[in-house]
Amino acid sequence: MKPIASACVATLCASASVAVAEPCVSATFERPLPNATRVVTHVSDVPSAQFPVFWQEGILEGFRFKILASREGTVRPIDNREDWVVSITCHSSDLTCELSMKGAPPQTAVTVANKIGQCLVGAQLDGETTGPPPPGASALETLSGTSQTERPTCGSAAIDEVSDIAIMQRLLIMAGEDPGPVDGVLGALTFSAMEAFAAGVDRNTSISDVIALLDARLCANAD
């Protein structure tokens, strides 16, 4: 499948004299990507173009990610039936990142890819407050065209789906449950995920109430 879109989405600093910053996951990728779950770091005995010395995989905000020591990465759906991918290519020489999209990824996946780009060029991620910001961090708001204070960072406010059911399904994935595909349909898997998420939640609970409960938990964990 050919890429349907390719654009430079970030220019953090244009000076060629900027020092090369270490990725936020450390030079050896042993530090988990902030807020990610199920993180696994790999070390290659025989580095290749596809798998440089270090790379890391995990789940971030309901999406699968892979980041490589070559400052490249991908964001994919958890559900393999969804056919899209966001590819990330960053350049340490001028702290820029490019995204290319295949298929039709949701805007939330593009936002996650932007955050990963921040990590790969050694910039401070949105919502990460520990430690001093690296050189160029003050220009991070150019990464997605909005300022850090304007960009939602947790819960349903950070999700771009077409229906409340799809929003709830995405939130359930972010909470570690399996509602099946994010398709806006209340099927058996979605009901099971709702019931597994919290005691007292069942088929009679309104979607808006489930979303409110998910927001409360996810945004509390994000603080």
Verify that 128 and 169 share a domain, yes or no. no
pLDDT at residue 85 is higher than 90: yes
Residue 80 vs residues 39, 61, 83, 112: alpha-carbon distances, Å: 19, 16, 7, 18
**Domain annotation covers residue 165:** yes
Q: How would residue 19 be classed by pLDDT, with cut points 50, 70 and 90?
A: low
Least Cα distance to 61 among 155, 148, 145, 131 occurs for: 155
Higher pLDDT among residues 29 and 203, named by residue: 29
Mean pLDDT (whole number) for 33-50: 79
Verify that 166 and 127 share a domain, yes or no. no
Q: How far apart are CA 191 and CA 137, in angstroms?
A: 42
Tokens of 18: 């900027």
Q: How would residue 136 be classed by pLDDT, with cut points 50, 70 and 90?
A: very low
Pairing of strands 72-77, 85-91: antiparallel
List all residues 6 or more positions away from 156 whose beta carbon is below 8 Å from its beta carbon. 167, 171, 211, 214, 215
**Domain annotation covers residue 150:** no
Verify that 167 and 74 share a domain, yes or no. no
**Domain annotation covers residue 46:** yes
How many domains would you assign to the chain?
Answer: 2
Q: Which of 102, 122, 143 is the last residue of a domain?
A: 143
Least Cα distance to 197 among 182, 209, 184 occurs for: 209
**Domain annotation covers residue 149:** no
Q: Which of 143, 170, 193 is the last residue of a domain?
A: 143
**Domain annotation covers residue 70:** yes
Verify that 94 and 130 share a domain, yes or no. yes
**Domain annotation covers residue 130:** yes
> Helices 188-197 and 164-174 sit at what angle, rounded to 10 degrees?
50
Place of tokens 């991908």: 74
Q: Which of 12-26, 82-96, 138-152 is the least confident region?
A: 138-152
Verify that 159 and 137 share a domain, yes or no. no
Verify that 123 and 188 share a domain, yes or no. no
Mean pLDDT (whole number) for 170-187: 89
| Amino acid in position 111 | T
pTM of the model as a whole: 0.54
Verify that 105 and 191 share a domain, yes or no. no
pLDDT at residue 45 is higher than 90: no
**Domain annotation covers residue 132:** yes
Verify that 64 and 96 share a domain, yes or no. yes
Radius of gyration of the CA atoms of the chain, in A: 18
For residue 58, the cross-strand partners are 65
For residue 174, what pLDDT is reported?
87
Q: How far apart are CA 191 and CA 184, in angstroms?
A: 12
Q: Which of 92, 116, 143 is the last residue of a domain?
A: 143
Verify that 177 and 214 share a domain, yes or no. yes
What is the Cβ-side half-sphere exposure of residue 219, based on CA atoms within 13 angstroms?
A: 14
pLDDT at residue 140 is higher than 80: no
For residue 66, the cross-strand partners are 57, 74
**Residues of the domain holding 65:** 5-143
Verify that 50 and 126 share a domain, yes or no. yes
**Domain annotation covers residue 148:** no
pLDDT at residue 212 is higher than 80: yes
By the 8 A CB rule, do 108 and 170 touch?
yes
Verify that 29 and 60 share a domain, yes or no. yes
Verify that 128 and 54 share a domain, yes or no. yes
